[in-house]
Structure 1
Amino acid sequence: MSKILCVLYPDPVDGFPPRYPRDGVPTIDRYESGGTLPTPQHIDFRPGELLGCVSGSLGLGRFLETSGHTLVVTSDKEGPDSVFERELADAEVVISQPFWPAYLTADRLARAKKLRLAITAGIGSDHVDLDEAAARGVTVAEVTDSNCISVAEHAAMQILALVRNFLPSHEWITRGGWNIADCVSRAYDLEGMQVGIVGAGRIGLALMRRLKPFGVPLHYMQRHPLQPEVARELGAKFHPSVESLAEACDVISIHCPLHPGTLRMFNDELIGRMKRGSYIVNTARAEICDRDAVVRALEGGRLAGYAGDVWFPQPPPPDHPWRTMPHQAMTPHVSGTTLSAQARYAAGTREILECWFEGRPIREEYLIIDGGKLAGVGASSYTLATGARA
């Protein structure tokens, strides 16, 4: 039997379980990308319940405990005396979410002598040192596709919030005002703006399809051009470099993974190439943008706005400058953990565990590291310093 260590975000401040505004979530048959939804043998939760916090436990408690496994669930992940640190030493499986990541650094992986499987409940496994995981034979998996549309919708919302100056306008109302001139002095139409996507994978492509009806010319940059029929459908222009994209666009939304090639990609130099008054939305990973370069660009007027839901570290300290920089529309890392998304990534996590315990292959589209090298979706999304690839 195995010990499973699950690190999830804390319960609601008013206690668990909460009251839900709806009785459930709509049912979908397939992912927009054409992918298959999670197919666990059973689930022990009702879709629409809060599963991503400690008391929700991803709906795994009954399944694991009746199977004889030990499940430890905690939100305490910081510092040498945290529950995460204490329990990691003999854990065989670690489950974490991008929204409250348990950072599996090289040092922690070295101390986790029994660890064999690291699961991301959601998408994005950069909180795991993938080189070290590969070297130590730790399998890394995530629930690919589970919250792609959730993130794409959030990015679309934040683009509109910035361009239309929504949040300051809302704040005038909550403060009892009706200051129309102040509200509209930074408000524009999105229509006609050049919108660029960095990384036209599942999330980036979904966002492009949602933005096309707004009448915006679309641009994208990634390793390879889209299929010709998809590019024609969207009227999207391919850029071979991020510099070319930055110079052409009024709005840029970031949807690429974090790896050595994208680390602090949006720095002073690249932001300096953008049009004055451009906007950046980043729902990918915070360190794709240079933290202080973003602050400087907003304070100096190079950027008209910055929004996103990703920070480093997560959660950020109270004095993180993105909390107080001007013209921002930041949120906690919530884009991919709607109640709708939780039902899918909780079911996918259970599917991965069922396969693992029964000795069945984990779906290729869930795999990031397997057999000491990049595998599945990881082979097309990440790079290793060792150069190991599928």
Structure 2
Amino acid sequence: MKPNGEDEPDSNRHFPRVLVGVTGGIAAYKVCEIVSALAKSGIEVQVILTEAACEFISPLTFATLSRRPAYTDKDFWQPMQGRPLHIRLGEWADIFLIAPLTANTLAKLTYGLADNLLTNTVLASTCPILLAPAMNTDMWEQPSVQQNWQKFRENPRIHSTGMGVGLLACDRIGAGRMAEPEEIGAHLESLLHTQGKRDLSGKRVLISAGGTREHFDPVRFLGNPSTGKMGVAVAQAALHRGATVTLVHTPLSVPLPPGLQTVPVVSAAQMQEAILTYYTEADFIVMAAAVADVKPAEYVNQKLPKKLLPDALTLAPVPDIAAELGRRKQSHQCLIGFAAQTGDFVKPAREKLHQKNLDAIAANPIDRPDSGFGSDTNQAVFLDRTGRQQNVPACSKLKMAHELWDFVLVLSAEC
């Protein structure tokens, strides 16, 4: 913002803007990490604190972390310089995060009450709002609080994180923990991409993730370096866009976001059984898992001593799950594959697209820096059956997941 308090013209904007509202809960300390991470990523951040929030965290802390003034009710009641503060802040924001959201502020927002800077700014804004509630379990479970929660979320602007379960600051064990900063950060990233669109609302999505393990004894297996990060990101993006998501996954190295139906498996055979159980109800099926091509021909049910390990391991083929789905899929279903390749990665992906009767495929180069297995970033070329092709440069895996859904939804609309 300019020194006189007026906004810069939109034509001069370079970075997305997140407005953070902090209310009076002990979880306010977690918001410091969120604000710091947003500012470091280049996102413009401004913070509003309620009077109660100032009892937990000082405005100076948030001002330092955001590199901008942090506003309180004292600022709200000062003589105006230019346009009213709550109007300017409400119009400034691309996304409005309220964290922690207390029962008191929830009740005010539900009924449109505006007695402080935060609640007035909510009424003066039109952007998507992300809520991260936090309170004692008994408070959260009160019928009046649950009614307010359900009522306020009927507003299409409103999005929410999950409520964590565990040991609370009051020593109670139960629901009431604010979502962790990483989860809130991911949801903000999604909202900045979609601007609050729920374009997968009412859709059922089935996704596979992780690398299968083909054991030849209880402790040894043939596998691959897949961590499942990309598949989980695709699931998280679909969830944030309103889908009902089932994730069939192998052992993963990343936490699973709340709200997913999860089906843990280990081997390709187990994954095939789970996928074929759930695929008939799915509108979109995304095979993001790194599924084995072969497995040991024989399995020994106890650990082999080192001296008894065979010099050569006889291998047997593993059923091709994607190809089987390509044969079985119904006309309303969209089947998306992934192709992890080295070298010329687009040509084999295009062949796989047609051979397995896929609707779209993400060709993923795994021999480039910060791409592929285990990395937090990825890059790809998307292809579809109509001949469309889209290059996606290196970005976070969640952003790539959203780019994939954008690509797939265009194809789905044309069907």
So what's the TM-score if we normalise by structure 2?
0.24
Task: State which structure, 1 or 2, has the greater radius of gyration over its C-alpha atoms.
Answer: 2
Task: Pick 1 or 2: higher relative contact order, CA cutoff 8 A, min separation 6.
Answer: 1
Q: Which has the higher strand share?
A: 2
